[in-house]
Amino acid sequence: LNHKKGSSSSLTTSNHRVTICESNLKIILQLARNISNALDEIHSAGVTHNNLNSQKIIIDDKDDSMMVKIIGLGSASLLTDKNENSDERKKDIQHLGVILFKMFTGQDPFRRNRDLDLTSGE
């Protein structure tokens, strides 16, 4: 997780394993909650993002609140189905899961499987 304290910056994750100590875990959990809440606000407004990734997340931690803004709604669409289990919402939530996985592990969840296949010869 790369983030500059005291300024607005986009959320980026590295391809190495993150050492999670207690202070890092608190920050990551706070960010995870704030990102999830921001996505929930978008969905509550009847919109889906459709292109959620770590580059679309801006963090402002000037006051230690770790305020999160989700940008890049250019490919957003109105929810055609107000059902919470709609395919549009599921896609955004799957992308959120990938972002959270990267935040906690520093690895891409899908790359890991490909690496295992290459080393096992499958």
Amino acid 110: pLDDT:
84
| The pLDDT value given to residue 81 | 67
8-120 is a CATH 1.10.10.10 domain: no
Q: For position 7, what pLDDT does the model report?
A: 41
More confident residue, 26 or 14: 26
Contact at 8 Å (CB) between 67 and 30?
no
| Residue 9 pLDDT > 80 | no
Whether the model clears a pTM of 0.75, i.e. scores above it, the answer is no
Spell out the domain ranges in the chain: 8-120
Measuring CA to CA, how many Å separate 52 from each of 5, 82, 105, 117, 121?
Answer: 23, 20, 19, 27, 33
Structure tokens at 56: 């679309």
Residue 114 pLDDT greater than 70, yes or no = no
80 band by pLDDT with thresholds 50, 70 and 90: confident
